[in-house]
Structure formats: C-alpha cells, structure tokens
Structure 1
C-alpha cells in the first residue's frame, strides 16, 4: 500500500475505533518505520496511539487506536504470578491483549533461567523486579538478592529473600558463595549419575539476583572482571543444577556488562526485557546482536499523550499532564514477539509512601522466605579481589567486618577517572564521557574532560591525538 493510499483511507474514516492497515513492503524492504513520519502521515497527534509491527517476510501492520491500549494497566495478582505448566508467570500484556509471559523455570530441561532487565532511570525496573521476587517467594524458589542501590531499589524485599546484601563487596561475597554452591551441586549430581536438575529433588530452585548490576560491572568498578567471570560461571554451570542469574541494569552495552562476549551471548539465550531506553542504548543493543540486523523498535515515550506543538507567543501552556507515565512499557526481546510493545501489570501503589509500599508487602505475604542464607565468601587480605577465596562465617547474608577484604578505593581525580575508564581500551570522546557519567564520581563537563585529556597527553600518559578520534592510554 502506498503512503498516499494509506493517508486517503485514514482521512476517509475518521472515527473513534481502532483502524488497521495491512501493508506489504517492497522485496527485501523495511524492518521498521520512521514513527514520527508515520504519525504525521496519519494526522495523529499522539504517537503512542499508533502501533507499527513488522511481520515475517514482506508483511507489516499499522494500527491506530482511539487511546493508547497500554495507557492503563490493571494491578498484578497472585494468580498472575503462579507458574504455569510451562514454568512461566504472567507479568503484563501486549498492546493487543495477549499475555506477556516470562519463564522462571524450564520443566522440560529442569534448567534455571538467565534473566536480564534493561531500562533507563525511571523506566520501571524496580517494580518489574518486584514481580519476579514475589513470584519466587510464592513458588518456594530461593532468592539471594544484591540491591546495589543501598537497599532502596526494592526495599519491600527486606525479609522476603534468603540472602539480602546492599554493597559491592557483599555482592561479591554472595556471588562467590553461589558459584561454590553450584560447583558442589555439580559434583554431587555427577556422583548420583544425574545429568540435569529436578526441582525440589533434593534441592530447591535458586536465583542470584543483582539489582543495579551496572554498578558492579561497569568500567571503574573494582570487582568488574571477577564479577563478570562469576556471573558467567553461574550462567554456565548453575543453570543446569538449579541456580539461575537475574540482572537488572541501566545500560545495554557490552562494555557495561563486564566486557565479556561470553557473558553477553549467554544472557541473550535467556529472558531479556527492555524497558524505556536511550538512543545510545538502542544502537548498542542492535550492535551487540540482541535485535536482528535491520530491526528497530517503536520508541517508548517518557510521557504518553499528544506530541508537543509550537504555540503562539503569550499563549498559556498547560503543563499539568507532562508527567512521566510510561513506566513498565517494554519489549520482550527473546520472546516470539520481540518487536511487539507490551507493558507490565501495575506492581504496588501509584503514590509513594513514607515506608514500605503496603500493596507490595501484601503480595509478598507474611511467611518467612524459603531457603537458607548464603555464607558470604571473601578473599583473604593478601590475595586481593581476584585471588582464591576463603570462607567467612557470615552473618545471615550481610557479611562481617573482620572477614571483609577492604574495598579498593575508587578513582577521585578526573585524571585518575579518565585513566581508569581507558584501562580496557581506546574510547571515543562520547564513550569516555558516558563512562565518566557512570563511574560514580562527580559530573565531568566536556570542556574539563578535553582539557584533562590534553594535559595527560602532555604528561605522556595518553597517546597523541589519533585521526580516528579515539583516545588511547599509554601503557
């Protein structure tokens, strides 16, 4: 169907019903669409009402809704979070009403899952993670949680997980303990002649969950390399002995997942949920292979509603509706519908509370969490963070000061931070600025970074300016 014909049908049928246009692209044609241009063609001032979906071959569909079908979602229920015969839970709905399901356990192979939830700040990662944690507790699945936002990201999980830690070093102790547990199960199952995992026979299904995982895996993190190695080991060995891994992270680029190709490839085989993203994240996702080449996704706006228009000078402007309201809208990239927009059911209350959200606490219930806490493992002081570990007594999952190896100091000066960011290899100026934004230090202005880079070159700590624009550290 030509654009002119599409527009003609739209103008002829202006009515408050859903309109559907079936399209056939040219041979080898588009894998996506310019969404703003499409809305302009259809004379629709609310981009979220227009859904474009590419099918197989040369088919595509455009649907125009009277209101965004995902604008309002019902509250999630305990029935939604019960595992079905396929080991899945219902976490939300696609725009056409089909349930959005996420696999928690594979009953055919017995394997635990590898799950990753991406999204920018305020996109709904924490509420999405809460749904998973509630489902695990209700199903008797043991959870060991690292909330690397100091416990503030999912506070209602306090007392509802077997292990609950809040710092980088305790998260490392938890990861080491989880790998040791997976290896022990691996040896024990081999002696039994068992090639796979049988849930609760004799061991429960367990998950290692790391919220704000980018803080552990990004450049500049003192445990980056070891954390990537341990997570990779849990995903490789743990999944076949009933120990899975869940990461919730703000970044979508390989470099911010520990720089491990093996780790990223392993996670792509699991459950990958993408909430609202930045343009840089989308380019990285496509480049890293989480989306097929040529595919793109319809953007998820921060604010649902009419697009901003130019107004005459002096005209009063109503800003009352310009509040973020797309939290929980997402794509399930590893499902059968990777380019279909969906949204999580509402998890918890809409308004903030002085303390724990009572709706989320009600979902968890008052029963104690299943399983026993891990005894965190820390390296001896002499070995450093990448040495072999010795078991510490632990304190129910929170670590002990006397057995904790001191955390290596984070870089403080802008010079140190730039050199730390470049330790893994050359970066463009844009990537260097992004790394500095994420390293936990003071905001670095572009001008200050350029001046410091020039100074470091003068000190022979950085290579001379390269025609490609890459900034390289001298070893």
Structure 2
C-alpha cells in the first residue's frame, strides 16, 4: 500500500511547557553560581517547591482547582512525567550550585568530559536523563512529517474510508497549492463509517477559514453535512463530516419536515431531537429543543404551528416543558385517539391523591388529565372552567362535583340558569337556582365570615379538614348570568365572589367558576376575581372565544387558541360551490376536548371522561355540610338576607338606617341619590353591623354603600372619632362589640 506524507504541527499550549521543560535544567544550572547569594538561595528554594508541586501532581495529590486554574489542565496531565523529570533535574543543578558554588556547576555541566571521575559519571547520567526527556517531548516541540496510507488508485472521493484517503483529498483540494484554503492542514482524523472527524490547523499567525462549502465540494456531500467546533485557539478547529445527510435534511422524516416547514417562520432557532413513533397515538412524538445560541424556545402560535405542519388542530399537540424553557414536546397524529371518547371508568377514578389531585379525563399522551382541588399545606385550590355551549363544560362540572361529593366535601351550588346540572344540585348541601341563585352565594359568604372569625380567634394559620370542619366547594354555574352588570344581584354577587376567591383558599373553601369566557366584563368587571381563581388554582379551557388565550397567564397555556378547537372531530371539506344535493353531515361533537392546567401538572390536550349522568353514583348518605358553622340551621334566613343596603330583605328591612334610597334601575344594577352626612353615617354603620368583628377595606364599604369618596371619608372620620368603629390601619376599619 502506498503512503503520502503530511505535516503535523504542535499546538502552542503543548509547545510552551515542553520548551520550558527542556531549557530550564541546563539554563538555571549554569546561571545559579553567577547569582548573588541571597538570590541564588531564593532560586534554589523555588526549584525545590516546584519539584514538590510537580511530584504531588504526578501522584494525583495536587488539588484539581489549582490545576484547572492554570488554564491548561489537559497539557499538565499529558506532560506530568516530563514536568516532574525536568523539575528534579533543575533542582539537582541549582540547589548544590547555590551551596557549593561554581565548582559544582562546572563539574555537573561539563564533567562528562572526564568520564573516569565521579563527577564525570554524575554529569553523564544527568545529561542522559535530560536527553531522554527532550526526545520524549519531540512531538510537542516542533512540526514533523508523518507517513499515512494513500487511497486506493481509482477510488472516488466519496468512497475513501480511513484517514489516508481523507488526508489525500484534503491535501489535493483544500490545503495544497491551488486548493481552496492553502496551508490549512487536516490532522488527527478518526473514521467512524457514517461520519469522520478531524482537526484543521492553520499556519501559525493565521485563523482557520475553511468553509463548509469547500469541504462539502471536496468530499461530495451537502454543506449541511459539514459542521465545525472551536479548537483551543483561532488557528485550530474541529471538523465533522457526515457521509449521509442528517435526518433534518430528509423531507420524509419528522426532523426534515420541522426544519423545512416550522423552523423558518413559526419557531426559528429550534430543532427536533429523539423523534420516534408515539405508542399513545400511533403518530410521531419528539422533543423540540432550542439551538445552542437560543436561550429559550419561542412561544408558538398553535394555529400557525398546525398550519405549517399541514395538519389540523385536533391532530397536533404542543406541550411546553414544565421546568426547562429550552424544551417542549410535539405530537403529530394521523388520528386523534381521544376521538373515540374516554368512558368514565367508575367512581374509583375520582379518588383524590394525597396532594388533592383528581383525574377528570385522559391526556393525549395517555397520561390522566388531573387538577388539584386542595393542597394539604396551602389549602383549597380554585378552579375556572371556560367553554361555550356545547363544548362540554357541564360534563366537567359534573365530574368535579362528583369527585368532591365522594371525597366528603360540602358543596354549595348556585345555578343562575336554573337547569344547567340537576345532578350537581342533588349532591349539594345547599343549592339555589334561577333568580334565587344569589342565595347560595350568601350562604357561602356567611360560612366564609364564620371561618375568618374562627381563624382570628384560634390563631389558626393553615386549614386542616376534619369530619366536622370539611373542605367546601362553592360552584357557580354560568357565572356571567349573575355577575354581569345587567343582573340586579351583580354588585352583591361580585363582592361575594371576590371575597371567596381572595380568602377561601386558606379557609378550606374552593371556588369553582363556570363561564363561557374569562373576560372581566363577564365577571362583573372584576379582574381580581379572575386572577385569584386562575392563578390560585386550576384552569380548564374548552372551546371558547380565541381572545381568551390572551387573558390566561398560567404557564403552559401560551399560544393556545381555544377558538381553534373545532366543534366536530371531522367533517367533509366545505365545497367551493354549494348545492342542495350535497348531504349535510352530523359529525361527532368534540365536547370535553380542551386543555387543563394545574400546579405541578403539564398542560396538554385532553378530553374529559364521558359521563352522561352522575345520578347513579350520588350517595345521599355522603352529602356533607359544614358542621363547624353554628349558623347552618339558619341558612335559609341567611340566604334571604341581602348584603346590599337598601334591599327590602336586608338586615334592617330597608329602613332609614340604610339610607332608604336604593332602587334597581331599568338597566339593572343600583343607583343612589347622594345622601346627606347623617344618612351616610347611618349607611356605613349599618353595613359595619353586618361585618361585626371583621376587618373591612374602605373600597369594600364604598362598593356596597355607593357613597362617593368625599362623603365616605367624612363619614368614616366621624364614626371613628365617636368610637362607633375603629381604624385598624390606613384604609381598613372594624366594628367591635
């Protein structure tokens, strides 16, 4: 086999320590006698310390932090034997010279000229060791020519395995005279069959400038098959050449489809990793990973992502990683396994975990879709369900309510629509429907007041559920019907919902809001209510208005468009020209299809269990009520008592103590003529009577009395001075017995 000659040059990082190892022993040995005594002694001590340090490094006793601090730990490791030998030779030359003077130095340096003497033997041995050390360091000292196998005659460039053939092609087309990059040589090649790797070295003083196009042209592979990595300095670079294109260049692979269709515009700076068949769906699943120069994955627009993949909303699922911003999970399906429905497996599936999580359906990954109702440490967790009519939100409510019922939670149910979910009403300890639904909220609010008072009295920090003091769930179905400003009870309803959302968690009271949308204007304008419920618990998003996606700030919901969830799983494409002869299909609805997010749970496409009716699983003997509240027996009277001053059913019967001038206008809500000072004082005092012992903010007083800012400030000042109420802190008041 013929051979070719190539030049291999040492790296500067290897060359400098090698030169020092070779020069130091004779140079310092000859100079030591010429130094002043003090400096000579200092030099001798330094060489002894150096020998001790290199000896410790040789046996692995030198701390790694010290070795790494040098910046060349790999070089020190490779030359540890020669560095120790050089330091010992230097100490042998310098230390005696500092003590005995020039005579010893002369004997050591040139004593080999008299081989018969003792000094001649010592000198010859010293120089022999030095010569062996220098010979061993020759690869690190200077460039050298090496012979490598040449390619077989007639072999083509793309079929030359082994370093010899690769070197020859490089020399002919890149580094040789007339090549694309003269003087930039290839060394250290390893051939792995499907790819080969090597090191590009430029002439000293110049940087590597070899391009992927030049390498690809020389070896007849696409430029994308050539990658580079930085070396130890600008004159060095690692090169990897694949003989077959990577998956991302093959349009038939998932990686290739991503690189061609998604990466350019939808998710730039990303690539796929570990693409494989997904056993849960029969389609593909892969990690979406940020490129090295991208700190985090961009948030994709789900509709744009689906369009780029030439698919449909029900056949693509993107799931951000819960803790790693540089990773996400993508699934592409030919058919969604959730289309067949997920039958309710039985009440055992609803048993809460020790952390308060319940399963409400099945995720696209095959994992159950869960949300948290309560946390043993943090307290109750609120739930918000958003979905238009027909999206399946009634089924979600039924499943969550059944889980709460079977777990021994006390349910208080308000249904302004009047016929949303009769089975939930059968599980409730108290329910109110239609125009009377405000009564359920009043009962929930009275329970909240009691638990606030008990918490202050006992100094209880965390809620602990017991059979006599159970978890409570307040369910408000079709919340917009009672919270919207057009409802005559809206002001009172929003006030109560705000309080339960803000205080209920630490008191064991879960608030379940069920609504067609999450807009603040559908919740009485209360953004605080929306934030406390969504941020303080779980979110179930079914098919609803696309604008809702901008209002959900929970991690994992970024980019989800609930308006893009289709109403049906499949339907014939709409024809270009309509004809009455074309039959109208009635495809299966996508009820229950959506996304669920809860603390500690990934947000993924899911579908709720299919449960037509919960009635067979309701256990009348398990219906629980809050036994810790002494006022439970009077709940019906509480339900009839409005919190709003001026209501004929209010605590004072609408007498003059409340101002007596509230009346529902034609458009709903309440209007109020401005009271005089005495009327304002009486209205405030009457309201504070209903909040006996509780701290109330000035904003709450203004909301529920309708008194303007200036009049209210004067009334509060008068009442505080008279001792009728007390000012706990700025903006917060309380009435005590």
Structure 1 residues 167, 308: CA separation in 2 closer, same or farther (over 3 Å shift)? Answer: same
Q: How does 1:78-227 map to 2 (within 5 A)?
A: 78-109=347-378, 111-150=379-418, 152-168=419-435, 170-200=436-466, 202-227=468-493
**Out of 577, 585, 588, which is 1:320 matched to?**
585
What CA distance in whole angstroms lies between the structure 1 residues aligned with 2:491 and 2:416? 17
Structure 2 residue 342 is the aligned partner of structure 1 residue 73: yes
- The CA deviation at 1:378 is 3.5
Determine which structure has greater relative contact order: mean sequence separation of CA pairs < 8 Å that are 6+ residues apart, divided by chain length.
1
Q: Secondary structure at the match of 2:337?
A: coil
Residue 695 of structure 2 aligns with which residue? none
What CA distance in whole angstroms lies between the structure 1 residues aligned with 2:353 and 2:644? 49
- The CA deviation at 1:85 is 0.9
Q: Name structure 1 gaps, 5 residues minimum.
A: 349-356, 392-406, 421-475
Q: Secondary structure at the match of 1:80?
A: helix
- The CA deviation at 1:278 is 1.5
Residue by residue over 1:95-141, the C-alpha shift from the partner in whole angstroms, topping out at 9 and shown as x without a partner, is: 101111121221123x2222211111111111111112211221221
Structure 2 residue 560 is the aligned partner of structure 1 residue 296: yes
Q: Secondary structure at the match of 2:621?
A: coil
Structure 1 residues 382, 175: CA separation in 2 closer, same or farther (over 3 Å shift)? Answer: closer
What CA distance in whole angstroms lies between the structure 2 residues aligned with 1:121 and 1:306? 20
- The CA deviation at 1:58 is 4.1
Residue 267 of structure 2 aligns with which residue? none
Q: Secondary structure at the match of 1:67?
A: coil
The 8 Å contact of residues 485 and 524 in structure 2, kept in 1 or not, is answered as yes
Structure 1 residues 115, 385: CA separation in 2 closer, same or farther (over 3 Å shift)? Answer: farther
User: Which deviates more from structure 2 when the two are superposed, residues 234-243 or residues 363-372?
Assistant: 363-372
Residue 185 of structure 2 aligns with which residue? none
The 8 Å contact of residues 567 and 590 in structure 2, kept in 1 or not, is answered as yes
Residue 437 of structure 1 aligns with which residue? none
Structure 1 residues 388, 320: CA separation in 2 closer, same or farther (over 3 Å shift)? Answer: same
Residue 432 of structure 1 aligns with which residue? none
**Out of 493, 502, 515, which is 1:249 matched to?**
515
The 8 Å contact of residues 413 and 425 in structure 2, kept in 1 or not, is answered as no
What CA distance in whole angstroms lies between the structure 2 residues aligned with 1:315 and 1:387? 59
Structure 2 residue 596 is the aligned partner of structure 1 residue 332: yes
Q: Secondary structure at the match of 2:443?
A: helix
Q: Name structure 2 gaps, 5 residues minimum.
A: 1-223, 225-245, 258-274, 627-631, 654-661, 670-737
Residue 424 of structure 1 aligns with which residue? none
Structure 2 residue 624 is the aligned partner of structure 1 residue 370: yes
The 8 Å contact of residues 492 and 643 in structure 2, kept in 1 or not, is answered as no
The 8 Å contact of residues 410 and 623 in structure 2, kept in 1 or not, is answered as yes
- The CA deviation at 1:370 is 1.8
TM-score, normalising length from structure 2?
A: 0.46
Q: Secondary structure at the match of 2:338?
A: coil
- The CA deviation at 1:245 is 1.5
Q: Secondary structure at the match of 2:469?
A: coil
The 8 Å contact of residues 273 and 332 in structure 1, kept in 2 or not, is answered as yes
Structure 2 residue 298 is the aligned partner of structure 1 residue 30: yes
What CA distance in whole angstroms lies between the structure 1 residues aligned with 2:557 and 2:350? 34
TM-score, normalising length from structure 1?
A: 0.69
User: Which deviates more from structure 2 when the two are superposed, residues 93-102 or residues 21-30?
Assistant: 21-30
User: Which deviates more from structure 2 when the two are superposed, residues 159-168 or residues 57-66?
Assistant: 57-66
The 8 Å contact of residues 143 and 161 in structure 1, kept in 2 or not, is answered as yes
RMSD between aligned residues: 3.8
What CA distance in whole angstroms lies between the structure 1 residues aligned with 2:375 and 2:527? 25
What CA distance in whole angstroms lies between the structure 1 residues aligned with 2:284 and 2:448? 53
- The CA deviation at 1:218 is 1.6
The 8 Å contact of residues 128 and 344 in structure 1, kept in 2 or not, is answered as yes
User: Which deviates more from structure 2 when the two are superposed, residues 372-381 or residues 55-64?
Assistant: 372-381
Structure of greater Rg? 2
User: Which deviates more from structure 2 when the two are superposed, residues 187-196 or residues 239-248?
Assistant: 187-196
What CA distance in whole angstroms lies between the structure 1 residues aligned with 2:572 and 2:555? 27
Q: Secondary structure at the match of 2:531?
A: helix
The 8 Å contact of residues 47 and 305 in structure 1, kept in 2 or not, is answered as no
- The CA deviation at 1:302 is 0.9
Structure 1 residues 269, 247: CA separation in 2 closer, same or farther (over 3 Å shift)? Answer: same
The 8 Å contact of residues 518 and 530 in structure 2, kept in 1 or not, is answered as no
The 8 Å contact of residues 448 and 500 in structure 2, kept in 1 or not, is answered as yes
Structure 1 residues 66, 260: CA separation in 2 closer, same or farther (over 3 Å shift)? Answer: same
Q: How does 1:450-465 map to 2 (within 5 A)?
A: none
* Residues paired across the two proteins, number: 381
Residue by residue over 1:314-364, the C-alpha shift from the partner in whole angstroms, topping out at 9 and shown as x without a partner, is: 6964533434x211112123444564211111122xxxxxxxx4xx21121
- The CA deviation at 1:386 is 11
Q: Secondary structure at the match of 2:396?
A: helix
The 8 Å contact of residues 329 and 342 in structure 1, kept in 2 or not, is answered as yes
Residue by residue over 1:1-58, the C-alpha shift from the partner in whole angstroms, topping out at 9 and shown as x without a partner, is: 9998585325999x994123444456365311453x55555454x5422223344434
The 8 Å contact of residues 254 and 264 in structure 1, kept in 2 or not, is answered as yes
Residue by residue over 1:152-185, the C-alpha shift from the partner in whole angstroms, topping out at 9 and shown as x without a partner, is: 11012343211111134x3323222322222222
The 8 Å contact of residues 546 and 561 in structure 2, kept in 1 or not, is answered as no
Residue 383 of structure 1 aligns with which residue? 645
The 8 Å contact of residues 6 and 21 in structure 1, kept in 2 or not, is answered as no
Residue by residue over 1:373-413, the C-alpha shift from the partner in whole angstroms, topping out at 9 and shown as x without a partner, is: 6333344799335996469xxxxxxxxxxxxxxx97674xx
What CA distance in whole angstroms lies between the structure 2 residues aligned with 1:176 and 1:261? 21
The 8 Å contact of residues 338 and 606 in structure 2, kept in 1 or not, is answered as yes
- The CA deviation at 1:238 is 3.0
